[in-house]
Amino acid sequence: MLKRKTALFLVLLAGALFAQKSKNIVKIGCIDIQRVIDKVAGDRLLKSMLEDRKGQFVSKAEELAKGLNAKKELLTKEGSRMEADRAKALREEIAKMEEELKAFLQEKTEVLRQKEEALSLRVMQSIYDHMKEVAVKTGYSMIVDKSSAVLFVDPEVDITDEVIKTLDKEREAVLKGSKN
């Protein structure tokens, strides 16, 4: 029994000495990625980029709809007094305009979806890059997301605020660059 305890003690001592001499100590940090995403998604600059594009499409759609409604009104008011050929041509023109409006809305909805998706990917890449930069700067070997089954996190290893600060600095630099 004494030999076993001695052998176990020697193995533990050797492991401790080896761990001390090893430079591969793992330092684990964490991030609340959802909080970072929420902060970035709430950014007025990003929202305004998409809203500007959306506004351009809505204006054009309203213009098309206005023209369509004018033709429909004309048909309603004067359709019974029109010659059959003229009424038929107007109905065909209305049908064509409805198809054009529908196609325009589908196309622009897809364009907006793609732009939003591309922007989301750029935002996620930026978050990852900033997270990596902070992790390397602070000496972390690994960063885990708080939401992935982490039961406790010491606030000292949470890099969320630091990542948000670096993202804010980048945003400010972009804003300053766009003002000049």
**Predicted confidence (pLDDT) per residue in 81-105, tens digit:** 888 888 888 889 989 999 998 999 9
Q: What angle do CA 30, 36, 39 make, to 5 degrees?
A: 155
Task: Say which range, 46-50, 55-59, 65-69, 128-132, has the weakest mean pLDDT.
Answer: 46-50
Closest by CA to 157, choosing from 172, 173, 174, 140, is 140
CATH for 22-179, options being 3.30.70.980, 3.30.360.10, 3.30.230.30, 3.30.910.20: 3.30.910.20
Q: What is the pLDDT of residue 144?
A: 86
Work out the mean pLDDT of the chain and round it to a whole number: 79
More confident call, 7 vs 159 = 159
Give the residue extent of every domain in the chain: 22-179
The percent of residues above 90 in pLDDT, for the chain, comes to 13
Q: DSSP label at 154?
A: -
In this predicted structure, the answer to whether residue 20 has a pLDDT above a threshold of 80 is: no
